[in-house]
Structures are given as C-alpha cells and as structure tokens.
C-alpha cells in the first residue's frame, strides 16, 4: 500500500507518514506530521496569505488513516514552500487531569521552520473563542533551496575563542548605528557591522534568543525584548528579518551566518529549552499545551498546575521522550541546515530534571546532546543552574560541556571593588577556577569567564551605580538582583568630574583585562567596549528602546577603550608577533609553573586585608615569562620583580598597564612596550599590570 495514496473521499488528504515531523516539501505536495497525544481528532488548516482572517482550507484528519500511534499525518498535493498552516486539536478540556485541548484555537506546529506572526495577538489565544484571525501560522520551508557556497561551521577550538554576547535587535536598532532604518535591528543589519566585529577582534558572536519568541509576553505596556519566551524551536524570529515575505527570516539568517563565517566569526545561539511562551495556568494556548500538555510540560502533583523551575510559569519536560527528540531535532536542524557553530543553553540545569522535576545524576537529554554525532563539532555551553535552586557550576553532566562561571563574575567584582578577603578568590578565578573544576581533566576553557552579561549591569553601570534602577520595568524596582557588587565611587550615575571618570574608566579596563587574559574562555557583553549604559537598569528584559540598544556614538567617543579591548584580544591570542616567537598568555598560563608573590617576592598575602597579588608564569622551555600584578588597593604600591626573567641580559617589558593613558595602557603589537630599568615597579591604585620578559 502506498502511504501517500489518496483515500476514496476526494476531499480527504492522502494518509502521509508519521515521519519526518513538521511540514516537509515532497514532489507534488507537502507532507505534514505532528505529535498530539490524547487528541481525538486533528484538523489541518491552510491560509492563502498572511492577511487571511480565516483558513482558506480545512482538512479533518481521519484517525483510521491519518494517525499512527500518537502522530497525526497527511500529504496534501499541490502545496509548496511558503504555504501557511496550523492545526486544531480536538479532545477533552480537563485541567484536573492535565488535559487542555481547545479546538477553537489554531495551534502552531512545534516543528514549523518559519512562523508568520503579523496578525498574532497573544490575548486572543488566552481568552475563550476562536483565534484564527489572530493566530500564529507555520510556514512550509524547503531547507534544501539555499546555496551555501561551500560554507560550513568553523569548529574553532575554545582555546582560540573570544565570545561577544549581543542582541540582534539592539545591536543596530539605534538611530546612530548608520544602518538604514529598514535593516536596523535585523540579521541584515548585523551583517553591515561585521567589519566592526573583525576590527574588535572577537572570534564568535553569542546571539540572545533568535528562535521565534513572543514579544507580547512582556509586562503590561512593555515587550519581551530579550526573547526568552520561545514559541518555536526551529524558526528564526520574524522581526529580525528585513524581508517581509514568509520565507525571508530563514534566508536572511543564513545570509548572516555565511557572512560571519567568511569573516572568521562563529555563531553561537542562546537557546531556551527549559520553558515556552505559554506560561502558567492562565496563559495562552499556542501550541504545546493544546497538543499534548501532559507530555510537553512537567506538571505538579495537581496536574492542573505547572511546575515552575524556570521562573516564568512552566517547565518543559525535557527528559520525556518526545520532548527529548524535539530538542535533539532542533539542535541538529540549526547545525545541519542553518550552519550555526554552537549553543548556550539558558537555565541548563532544568535539562537535568526528570518528568517529576527531581534532579537526575545522568540526565538522558544532556548525554544525548553531548554524544550526538551531528553535534560533535558544535560548542555546548551551559548556564549551569535553574530558577529553583539547582546549581551545577563545576559539575554539569556530560563530557564536552562548558559552563558560564558565575563565581568568576562575582569574585572578580568583589576583588576590584576592594571587598575584604577577596584576594584568594581572584587568584583561583584567574587560573581557571581549579577549586570549581578540580576533578576535571578538560581544558581550562571549561570555564566561560565573564564580568557582565545581558542579565545584570553593563560594565559602565557596574562602576557607576551602587544600586539597581529598574523602575521603568513596572515592578516598583523589585525585579533584578540586588547582589551586584557594584560601586559608584561617590556619585550615583553619570558624572562630569574628570577625576571620577578616569577612575571609572580604569576600573572598566581592570575588568576587561581580567576577563580577557585569565585562563578560561572569555565572553564580553555588547557595548562594554564603548561604555554602553542602561541607566542603572540591571534587568532590561522588557526595554526594547534606547535603554538597551547600542548607541553607536559611544563607539567613537570611547575609541581609546575600544582600541584597548582589541589590543587585549591580540595579547590573549598571540596575534601579530609570530616573528618574535611570541606565545599567548593563555598558552603560558595553561602549561607552566606559577610562582605567587605579594609586594615582596615569594610572599603572597592571602589575608582578609590584602588587596593585591602578583604571580610569575614561566613557559616550560623557560623562553618566555609573564609577571602579573593586580592591585585593588587605594594607594600606590611598589612590587619587587624577579631578576633575570629569561637570562642575564633579559628585562621586563610593560605589556598592559590600566593606569596608563592610551595607547600605552595595552601595547600593540604585544611585546612592544617600554623596558623597565630596575627590579621593582610602582603600581598605581586600582590597576592591572602585565609584564613580559624581553631580551
């Protein structure tokens, strides 16, 4: 029997197959398949155009011919890529049993490769009644119809990676970006700024969520700007495309990836597989809860309620078979068909919970991702905690995963603020957090080092505000963390005092130098190199406005700071000095002997009142040495230096000094700084000094 053969009813679609899931163009038409456990009947609805208020066609699927186990499927002849579609699922609405079928709602296919959302209204999916006029609509995509021109993921080692976390919308939406308004805040707009990223020297961009998300899921009157409310795990976000045709986002995303790869820059996606935009009990019925609520979500003991380990109303049942398959299929799709280089998993510890929410020592979905052959070359980064207290930093399951190191962020902030007892923490964080990863045999880059990220203060605000200022979020400043370890240096917010501004700039340089030159893989936040400010807002998730956008006038105003960052990256990667046999700082720190010091050689001070430390790192062949000094003291300190760095004729040369004016704050090319005459050096208050051996 031909499974695609039509039935005797001329209006019925052909049976189709249960695989592959989603909408798949085939010769002569499109094959549809969707998982709907417990549904009594499914209807496939087709729209002729985005402006249609109601479906142009409806196909009622016959469970005798169009269902295999929990999969509903059909083949519709005459359709092709670009077709708009959705589903209605019939079945019991019994929340007390965990069942939430509502045939009045048009549902989005979880496997849709593109989404048409121009008429979408979240409220229409939450209130009683038919929402066909205001529903999300899947778009049929043929992923084979694109010329990659030989492009492949770059697979750069983490040891050679410098990550730049950015928001696609906020990167070029500001009027000062120089990007035409129609391309501002889009994938195409990002392409126009690739020369800037190349000049800065970063090797990877980590994009805040670009899966289709619900911008209407923000607080009243505000948008969901960051994008951590996914609607679909296979489709690029429509608003990030400058094209208005339904297939435009897919094509424009691929154009962006290809252009970034040509520039030597990898693409890492921030992915959200821990919850969806459907929210809690009162949320809208958009897809998952209307298809198989008990399968897709972790429910409480009372199945009418959703477990909330994500902090936003629901939790995906990641270790249930169908959800695990969906996550793997999504990741494979973005690698195979969209050519991305890696993923950062939001609240990744949720993936380590079983269907009852209990922590698992060996979570199947985590190990499936870790060992999947399609993903073998992809970067895997975990935000190794969740919103309900599960914390895996240093112990996230799997063999290939790297982790956002929140302890690096906090201990580095404490040290540069001058907190008592912070010197030992700075020392361990700088050398790859051996106390956190002491049982690991992996490379030091298991630790993703960052001082700032999208969630919290920008670097400028970290040194300009004592407290958060989130009033614009509409929650009376209750949202956002209070544990910022920030300091305004006497003035809350902007200041015209040149001395204060010099001190703040030095502190910013200290954070940048520490992050970029420590063991581990460094990550920078968009605009920190230009002192981007959010006005003290440390939770700007709902601020799709100039609060969050990158003001490109700052890039020129703070061009010396931008040059400093670029030079630091060159020091880290060891670029531009091959003729001198130069080794990067990372290479020496990762395979060398470390000698600890204080202001006096061999006498480190680990006490609670210490605010300074120094160490010497020597390469295995003793051909290169570095001497690093970090002082958060409020007065100048004179540090003794080791004699004969690499032989009787060698001297110490200044590579980095955050107290020096540009361009002498970081010498470029590396190894070209001034030579010190003696065997001690005075270090200015609150500064970072790196010395390199010179003959």
At 1-43, the pLDDT tens digits run: 344 444 445 457 899 999 999 999 999 999 999 999 999 999 9
Mean pLDDT throughout 660-680? Answer: 89
State whether 123 and 261 are in the same domain: no
- The pair of structure tokens assigned to 520 is 């581990």
With a CB cutoff of 8 Å and minimum separation 6, the contacts of 578 are: none
State whether 47 and 193 are in the same domain: no
Confidence tier at 575 by pLDDT (50, 70, 90)? low
State whether 342 and 439 are in the same domain: yes
* 112, 139, 166 - which closes a domain: 139
State whether 119 and 173 are in the same domain: no
State whether 590 and 569 are in the same domain: no
Residue 13 lies in a domain: no
- Lowest-confidence range among 147-156, 447-456, 637-646? 637-646
Question: Which residue segment(s) compose the domain that 663 sits in?
Answer: 580-694
Residues designated as active site: 346, 383
Residue 15 lies in a domain: no
* 573, 590, 608 - which closes a domain: 573
State whether 162 and 128 are in the same domain: no
With a CB cutoff of 8 Å and minimum separation 6, the contacts of 329 are: 21, 111, 234
pLDDT of amino acid 193: 98
Mean pLDDT throughout 164-190? Answer: 98
For residues 184 and 187, give the distance between their C-alpha atoms in angstroms, rounded to a whole number. 9
Task: Find the CATH number of the domain harbouring 618.
Answer: 2.60.40.1180
Q: What's the whole-number average pLDDT of the chain? A: 94
Confidence tier at 439 by pLDDT (50, 70, 90)? low
pLDDT of amino acid 397: 93
Task: Find the CATH number of the domain harbouring 125.
Answer: 2.60.40.10
Residue 355 lies in a domain: yes
**317 or 672, greater pLDDT:** 317
Backbone phi, then psi, for 72, in 5-degree steps? -110, 135
* 139, 171, 201 - which closes a domain: 139
Given a cut of 60, whether residue 247 has pLDDT beyond it is yes
Which of 99, 72, 70, 53 minimizes the C-alpha distance to 13?
72
Residues in the chain: 695
State whether 315 and 178 are in the same domain: yes
State whether 441 and 320 are in the same domain: yes
Total structural domains in the chain?
3
Q: Give 124-158 as a DSSP string.
A: HHHSSS--GGG--EEE---TTS---TT-------G
The tens digit of pLDDT for each residue in 356-410 reads 999 999 999 999 999 999 999 999 999 999 999 999 999 999 999 999 999 999 9
Given a cut of 90, whether residue 673 has pLDDT beyond it is no
Residue 485 lies in a domain: no
Mean pLDDT throughout 73-95? Answer: 98
State whether 162 and 264 are in the same domain: yes
State whether 528 and 566 are in the same domain: yes
Where b means 16+ CB within 10 Å and e means fewer, 167-188 reads bbbbbbbbeebebeeebbbbbb
State whether 92 and 164 are in the same domain: no
Q: What's the predicted TM-score (pTM) here?
A: 0.96
- Lowest-confidence range among 101-110, 148-157, 578-587, 599-608? 578-587
| Exposed/middle/buried for residue 469 (C-beta within 10 Å: 0-12, 13-18, 19+) | middle
State whether 193 and 288 are in the same domain: yes
Which of 493, 163, 482, 111 minimizes the C-alpha distance to 322?
111
Task: Find the CATH number of the domain harbouring 241.
Answer: 3.20.20.80
Residue 569 lies in a domain: yes
Confidence tier at 574 by pLDDT (50, 70, 90)? confident
With a CB cutoff of 8 Å and minimum separation 6, the contacts of 495 are: 464, 501, 504
Residue 687 lies in a domain: yes
Residue 486 lies in a domain: no
For residues 255 and 389, give the distance between their C-alpha atoms in angstroms, rounded to a whole number. 40
For residues 572 and 588, give the distance between their C-alpha atoms in angstroms, rounded to a whole number. 10
For residues 347 and 271, give the distance between their C-alpha atoms in angstroms, rounded to a whole number. 9
Residue 480 lies in a domain: no
């Amino acid at each position: 029997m031909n499974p695609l053969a039509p039935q005797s009813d001329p209006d019925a679609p052909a049976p189709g197959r249960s695989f592959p899931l989603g909408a798949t163009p085939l010769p002569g038409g499109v094959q549809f398949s969707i998982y709907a456990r417990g549904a009594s009947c499914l209807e496939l609805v087709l729209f002729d155009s985005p402006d249609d208020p109601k479906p142009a066609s409806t196909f009622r699927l016959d469970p005798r011919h169009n269902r295999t186990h929990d999969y509903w499927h059909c083949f519709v002849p005459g359709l092709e890529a670009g077709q708009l579609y959705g589903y209605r699922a019939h079945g019991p609405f019994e929340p007390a049993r965990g069942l939430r079928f509502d045939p009045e709602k048009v549902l989005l296919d979880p496997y849709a490769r593109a989404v048409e959302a121009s008429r979408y209204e979240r409220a229409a999916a939450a209130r009683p009644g038919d929402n066909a006029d205001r529903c999300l609509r899947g778009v049929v995509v043929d992923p084979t119809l694109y010329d990659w021109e030989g492009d492949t993921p770059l697979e750069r080692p983490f040891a050679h990676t410098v990550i730049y976390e950015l928001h696609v919308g906020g990167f070029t939406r500001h009027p000062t970006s120089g990007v035409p308004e129609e391309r501002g805040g889009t994938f195409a707009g990002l392409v126009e700024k690739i020369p800037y990223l190349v000049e800065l020297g970063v090797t990877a961009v980590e994009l805040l969520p670009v899966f289709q998300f619900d911008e209407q899921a923000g607080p009243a009157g505000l948008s969901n700007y960051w994008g951590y409310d996914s609607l679909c795990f296979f489709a690029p976000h429509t608003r990030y495309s400058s094209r208005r045709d339904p297939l435009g986002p897919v094509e424009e995303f691929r154009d962006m990836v290809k252009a970034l790869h040509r520039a030597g820059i990898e693409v890492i996606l921030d992915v959200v597989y821990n919850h969806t935009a459907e929210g809690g009990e009162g949320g809208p019925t958009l897809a998952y809860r209307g298809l198989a609520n008990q399968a897709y979500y972790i429910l409480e003991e009372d199945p009418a309620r959703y477990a909330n380990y994500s902090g936003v109303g629901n939790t995906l049942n990641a270790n249930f078979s169908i959800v695990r398959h969906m996550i793997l299929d999504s990741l494979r799709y973005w690698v195979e068909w969209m050519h991305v280089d890696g993923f950062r998993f939001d609240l990744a510890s949720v993936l380590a919970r079983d269907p009852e929410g209990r922590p698992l020592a060996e979570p199947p979905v985590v190990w499936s991702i870790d060992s999947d052959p399609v993903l073998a070359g992809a970067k895997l980064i975990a935000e190794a905690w969740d919103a309900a207290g599960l914390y895996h930093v240093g112990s996230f399951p799997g063999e290939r995963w790297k982790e956002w190191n929140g302890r690096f962020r906090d201990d580095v902030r404490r040290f540069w603020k001058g907190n008592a007892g912070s010197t030992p923490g700075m020392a361990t964080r700088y050398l790859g957090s051996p106390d956190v990863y002491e049982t690991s045999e992996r490379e030091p880059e298991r630790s993703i080092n960052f001082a700032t990220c999208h969630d919290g203060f920008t670097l400028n605000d970290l040194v300009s505000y004592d407290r958060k200022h989130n009033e614009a979020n509409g929650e009376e400043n209750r949202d956002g963390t209070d544990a910022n370890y920030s300091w305004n240096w006497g003035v809350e917010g902007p200041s015209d005092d040149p001395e204060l501004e010099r001190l703040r700039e030095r502190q910013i340089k200290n954070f940048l130098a520490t992050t970029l030159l420590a063991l581990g893989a460094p990550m920078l936040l968009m605009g920190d190199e230009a002192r981007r400010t959010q006005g003290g807002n440390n939770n700007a998730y709902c601020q799709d406005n100039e609060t969050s956008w990158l003001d490109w006038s700052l890039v020129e105003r703070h061009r010396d700071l931008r040059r400093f960052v670029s030079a630091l990256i060159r020091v880290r990667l060891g670029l531009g000095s091959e003729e001198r046999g130069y080794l990067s700082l990372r290479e020496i720190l990762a395979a060398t002997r470390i000698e600890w010091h204080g202001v006096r050689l061999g006498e480190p001070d680990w006490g609670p009142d210490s605010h300074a430390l120094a160490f010497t790192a020597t390469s295995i062949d003793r051909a290169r040495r570095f001497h690093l000094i970090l002082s958060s003291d409020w007065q100048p300190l004179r540090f003794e230096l080791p004699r004969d760095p690499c032989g009787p004729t060698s001297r110490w040369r200044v590579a980095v000094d955050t107290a020096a004016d540009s361009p002498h704050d970081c010498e470029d090319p590396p190894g070209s700084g001034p030579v010190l005459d003696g065997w001690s050096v005075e270090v200015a208050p609150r500064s970072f000094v790196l010395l390199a051996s010179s003959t």
